[in-house]
Structures are given as C-alpha cells and as structure tokens.
Amino acid sequence: MADFDYDLFVIGGGSGGVRAARTAAATGAKVGLAEESRMGGTCVIRGCVPKKLMVFASTYRDTFADARSYGWDFPDGTFRWAPFRDKLHAELDRLEEVYRSLLDKSGVDIHDARASLADPHTVRLDGGRTVTAKHILIAVGGHPVRPEIANAHLGLVSDDIFQLDALPKSVLIVGGGYIACEFACILSGLGVEVTQHYRGAQILRGFDDEARGLISEMMQARGIDLHLGTNIVDLRPASEAPEGPVGTGSDAAMGAPVGVGDATATVVEPARPSATARPGGPVWVKATNGSARSFDHVIFATGRAPNTSGLGLEEAGVTTGRRGEILVDDYSQTSVPSIYAIGDVTDRIQLTPVAIREGMAFTETVFKGNPTKPDHALVPSAVFTQPELGTVGLTEEEARDQEPVDIYCTSFRPMQQAFAGRQDRVLFKLVVSKDSRRVLGCHIVADHAGEMIQLAGIAVKAGLTKEQFDATCAVHPTVAEELVTMAVPIRSA
Ligand SMILES: Cc1cc2nc3c(=O)[nH]c(=O)nc-3n(C[C@H](O)[C@H](O)[C@H](O)COP(=O)(O)OP(=O)(O)OC[C@H]3O[C@@H](n4cnc5c(N)ncnc54)[C@H](O)[C@@H]3O)c2cc1C
C-alpha cells in the first residue's frame, strides 16, 4: 500500500473543513489542513457571526423607541460605528484563535497556505511544497460575485461591509436574497438611508410567498426604499455623473428623462469602465425605474460562486457543474474516489450547520466505516431581517404541487409592539397534508422567528401531524402560541 504523508488532507478551514478535520483526527487519523486566509471561514470571519452581531446592534433603535412607549425616559443616543467595529473585530480575532486551538488540540497539522490539487492523492501548497494524502477533502466555500455590468468593481460586496471605515449616509443594495435583505435591515436600523433594487417581482425567492410579501411590506414600512423589477442601467463614479444636480434622488439628476418619443430627451452616454475610480467611493446610479442619483456606496448582494478556480480540479479529474460547483454523490464523494467535497463549494444547501453535518457524515463514512449520507431534508433556517423569517419544510407553493394541502395561517399585531404603537405584524403559517395530516411546512415572520423555528423544526422533522401540534397546550401569553391554536384552515390548496 502507498505510504502517504496524511490519512486526510483538508483544503479550507471554514465550518465544514474544520469540523471534518477535528472529527477525523479524533478517530486517530493523521490529518493536515490548509487555510489560505483566516481560520473559521465565511461563517466566523465574514458571514453569520459578524452579521448577527450587526443585527443585534441594529435592533437597539427599535428597542429604545419602544422603551419610551413603556414609560422609560432617556435622551436620544447615536450609534457610533468605529467603537462597535473595533469590538466586532476583536471578537472575530478571538473566535479565530478558538478555531485554531481546537484544531491544534485535536492534533491536526495546520498549514497557513493556499492549496490546490496536483493529482488524486497530492496537494500542492503555496511556495511549491507538496503533501500526499490517502483522502483529500475539499471544503473551500464560495465568494460573493458582482453582476457583469460596467464599473461593477466600484460596488462593495458583503465581505467589505465589516471593514467600512465609516458608516455611510446612503447605500444602494442590489439583490433580493437573504443577504441583501438582512443588510438592508441592518444598515437601516443603524441609521443609514437604504435603497434596495431587486430585478425580480418579490424579494426572498424560494421562501413562502405570504412570508415574502409581509417581510417586503415591513421592510418598506421601516423606511427601506425597496424597488422591485428594477435593474441598474448605468453605474459610474459620482465624480463622473452626467451633468445636473447629483444626489437629489430625483430624475433631475439624469439631466432629463430619456425615453422614446420624448422630444426633450437628453441622451446620456453609456458608462465606460472607469479605470481610475477605486471601489467603495460614492457612485452615481441610473436604474430602469427612472431614478438616477448618487449613493455613498453600492453594495452588490447578487449571489455567490464556488471557490473552484485554480484549484487543480481538472488535473485531478474532479468533475464540476455549470456554475463551477463540485459534483458529489450522496456521500460527498467526487468523481475521483480519493477526493471528497463538502459545504458551499458543492452548492447543495449553503448554510453553516449543513456544511458541518456534511463534514461529520464524511468522517462517519470514511473514518468510522459507517456509510452516512448527510440529511438535507427539512433543514430549518432563518432570515435575520426585521422582523425575522423562520422557515422549515415546504412552502405552500411547493406543497400544493405535490399533494392537496390545508393552509392554517394567521397574521396580527403582537401585543408588545402594538402597545408601543408600532404597526408591525407577525405571521404564523402551517402547511398541512390533507391526506396524512402531517405538517409539511412551517413559516414564521416575527421577532425571534429564528429561535422559534429551531423548536418548531423538531416537530416538523419528527413528522408530527396538525392534531399533534394542537394536542400541545399553548403557552400564554406568547406570540408563538398561535402554532398550536390555529383551529380552522383558511383555505385548501
Ligand atoms: C454575509 C453572509 C451571511 C451568512 N449568514 C448565515 C447564517 O445566518 N446562517 C447560516 O447557516 N449560514 C450563513 N451564511 C452561509 C455560511 O457562512 C456558509 O454556508 C458556510 O460558511 C459554508 O462553510 P464552508 O466550510 O463550506 O466554507 P467557508 O466557511 O466559506 O470556508 C472555506 C474556507 O476555505 C478557504 N479556502 C478557499 N480556497 C482555498 C484554497 N485553495 N486553499 C486553502 N484555503 C482555501 C477560505 O479562505 C475559507 O476560509 C452566510 C454567508 C454570508 C456570506
């Protein structure tokens, strides 16, 4: 048998890679791991963790306002970005160290280097060194992508938000997915004037339609200037904006409206790529809805792509899909038997707990002799907008395509916010199979919906019926009691 340097070599020290490395090392395997950037990956350094801390920071504005309605008396305060950002980065440094020391204590060899495949058993590290391994696990994650429009390089992406020197006065967020909507709510909560453009008919594609509708309404009610069915047609540095008052937010900034049959139209030259302008400065944007104005920043939240370029996949014979994602079987094995892949780079479900579970299933399969498929069914998840969306299982739209369903749904103003004079509404929705009575989907729009769906997700995953939900006594007075008190379906579908 060939003699390898390692039993397992992991490329990527993010959520999936670190968990797989640690669990494999715990079986006695000799494990090496290469990370080209900071240990902890997207979740810890530029995703879930810093984002959630920003969510917390942004919600205090409502808390302070509500407190006054509850009789508290205190002067207006202001949010100071710089001390918050410094504390945030200190926390990320601490967490990175925790990840590093967990690997260290597990006996994993850490290589602070970029790695790529040389062949099915060989990994090339930055600097030319190579190591061999019986098994290689690719867990390199993904990166944000900008749209293919002129001057897109002027816009920021989610990674950049955590590094801002100062909080902008105004931003345009482009995109309608969960990252776009979360940052729209965060920045708005911190006092930034937020405009959001999304080319689709409704934000949060893939989530339940009623939940999407309510979140969209609530975001607009909070002052986010959301424009659906809207695309950028021209983007340039604010200093190169066409003549006319810039930054008014009105059509005047375009010079004049441009349109077929408009005798007064002034044709604005299409933007040429600006070689001098650097990312992150003020930009001027003209959109398909006729608006034309400057923003302190444009933030593109227009999707993510797998980190597969330059990884040596072709040399090793690993097959990729149309978007560059690594194709794997149910056990995360690639087209090359010695090479496995987990997490965002496989583009199955791009969530931290899923990457972690895929890593653990990999160890069970390869190092514990217990072939285990990661379970991608009924994964609960949350969107940390304000209010939050918690969801598990099928949307109404998905379920009704599969079988007849009863829909139980209620929407109301919760006591806490209603007392404070806020117009916020919550939504609780259960999608129930007419035939088996199983709850196929649960969708909650409410403060703390992320916490609620973690608990409701257990019941849905366990396959409980609507009648078993209802057999559970309500906790009163809570908003979540609606989960067990919706007696009559509002419709069948
Ligand atoms: C803004 C944002 C918010 C998010 N919020 C949530 C959330 O609330 N909840 C949730 O569950 N998920 C969230 N996610 C998704 C979550 O972060 C990812 O699903 C998760 O981190 C994927 O883990 P991974 O191990 O596949 O990859 P990653 O965590 O991305 O780790 C990959 C690592 O590989 C390294 N790497 C890449 N190429 C190489 C190479 N050639 N050599 C060496 N190292 C390499 C990278 O530097 C990185 O550290 C969020 C993501 C973003 C961007």
The size of the chain, in residues, is 493
> 2: pLDDT confidence band, cut at 50, 70 and 90?
low
Whether residue 375 lies inside any domain: the answer is: no
- Which of 245, 278, 300 delimits the end of a domain? 300
Whether residue 373 lies inside any domain: the answer is: no
Active site annotation includes 111: no
| Residue found by looking up tokens 């260290």 in the block | 104
118 and 210 co-located in one domain:
no
Q: How far is CA 99 from CA 15, 37, 39, 119, in A?
A: 10, 13, 6, 29
Whether residue 372 lies inside any domain: the answer is: no
Q: How much is the average pLDDT of 152-178? A: 97
Return the bridge partners of 353, or none.
Answer: none
Q: How much is the average pLDDT of 6-24? A: 98
Per-residue confidence (pLDDT) for residue 253, from 0 to 100: 37
316 and 356 co-located in one domain:
yes
Domain that holds residue 15: 6-144+305-367
Contact 131, 274 (CB under 8 A): no
Distance (angstroms) between ligand 1 centre and the Cα of 323 equals 17
Residue 323 has pLDDT above 80, yes or no: yes
> 76: pLDDT confidence band, cut at 50, 70 and 90?
confident
Per-residue confidence (pLDDT) for residue 298, from 0 to 100: 97
CATH number, domain of 215, equals 3.50.50.60
Distance CA 427, CA 408 (A): 11
Q: Which of 46, 48, 178, 381 to mutate to test the pocket of ligand 1 (most atoms within 8 A of CB)?
A: 48
Distance CA 357, CA 19 (A): 8
CATH number, domain of 453, equals 3.30.390.30
Contact 232, 276 (CB under 8 A): no
Q: How much is the average pLDDT of 301-322? A: 97
> Structural domain tally of the chain?
3
Distance (angstroms) between ligand 1 centre and the Cα of 344 equals 7
Q: Is the alpha carbon torsion for 156, 16, 335, 123 positive or negative?
A: positive
Q: What percentage of the chain reaches a pLDDT higher than 90?
A: 90
Whether residue 129 lies inside any domain: the answer is: yes
Ligand 1 atom at minimum distance from 183 CA:
1
Whether residue 344 has its Cβ less than 6 Å from ligand 1: yes
Whether residue 196 lies inside any domain: the answer is: yes
pTM of the model: 0.94
> 249: pLDDT confidence band, cut at 50, 70 and 90?
very low
264 and 317 co-located in one domain:
no
CA 444 to chain centre: 18
Average pLDDT, the chain: 93
- Which of 315, 344, 367 delimits the end of a domain? 367
136 and 21 co-located in one domain:
yes
> 10: pLDDT confidence band, cut at 50, 70 and 90?
very high
Distance (angstroms) between ligand 1 centre and the Cα of 15 equals 7
Q: What pLDDT, in 10s, does the model give residues 250-278?
A: 333 333 333 333 333 334 454 555 555 56
158 and 75 co-located in one domain:
no
Burial class (CB in 10 A: 0-12, 13-18, 19+), 361: buried
125 and 18 co-located in one domain:
yes
Per-residue confidence (pLDDT) for residue 244, from 0 to 100: 53
Ligand 1 atom at minimum distance from 114 CA:
42
Q: How much is the average pLDDT of 385-414? A: 98
Q: What pLDDT, in 10s, does the model give residues 78-87?
A: 999 999 999 9
Whether residue 374 lies inside any domain: the answer is: no
Structure tokens at 46: 């530029």
174 and 262 co-located in one domain:
yes
Whether residue 67 lies inside any domain: the answer is: yes
Contact 7, 133 (CB under 8 A): yes
Q: How much is the average pLDDT of 190-204? A: 98
Structure tokens at 347: 């583009």
Structure tokens at 199: 């080319």
Whether residue 39 has its Cβ less than 6 Å from ligand 1: no
Per-residue confidence (pLDDT) for residue 247, from 0 to 100: 46
In this structure, which residue's CA is closest to atom 27 in ligand 1? 141
Whether residue 159 has its Cβ less than 6 Å from ligand 1: no
Whether residue 416 has its Cβ less than 6 Å from ligand 1: no
Per-residue confidence (pLDDT) for residue 395, from 0 to 100: 98
Of 200, 191, 226, 189, give the one whose Cα is nearest residue 385. Answer: 189
> 281: pLDDT confidence band, cut at 50, 70 and 90?
confident
255 and 278 co-located in one domain:
yes
Whether residue 140 has its Cβ less than 6 Å from ligand 1: yes
Distance CA 139, CA 144 (A): 16
Per-residue confidence (pLDDT) for residue 272, from 0 to 100: 54
177 and 238 co-located in one domain:
yes
110 and 208 co-located in one domain:
no
Q: What pLDDT, in 10s, does the model give residues 84-135?
A: 999 999 999 999 999 999 999 999 999 999 999 999 999 999 989 999 999 9
In this structure, which residue's CA is closest to atom 26 in ligand 1? 343
Distance (angstroms) between ligand 1 centre and the Cα of 346 equals 12
Q: What pLDDT, in 10s, does the model give residues 228-238?
A: 999 999 999 99
Catalytic residue among 89, 135, 448, 476: 476
Contact 253, 294 (CB under 8 A): yes
Whether residue 139 has its Cβ less than 6 Å from ligand 1: yes
In this structure, which residue's CA is closest to atom 2 in ligand 1? 47
Residue 332 has pLDDT above 90, yes or no: yes
Of 331, 323, 257, give the one whose Cα is nearest residue 290. Answer: 257
326 and 435 co-located in one domain:
no
Whether residue 443 lies inside any domain: the answer is: yes
Distance CA 466, CA 132 (A): 54
* Angle, in degrees to the nearest 10, between helices 81-105 and 48-69: 140
185 and 66 co-located in one domain:
no
- Which of 300, 316, 348 delimits the end of a domain? 300
Q: Among 280-289, 372-381, 424-433, 481-490, which stretch is predicted with the lowest mean pLDDT?
A: 280-289
> 248: pLDDT confidence band, cut at 50, 70 and 90?
very low
Structure tokens at 252: 């005047």
Whether residue 410 has its Cβ less than 6 Å from ligand 1: no
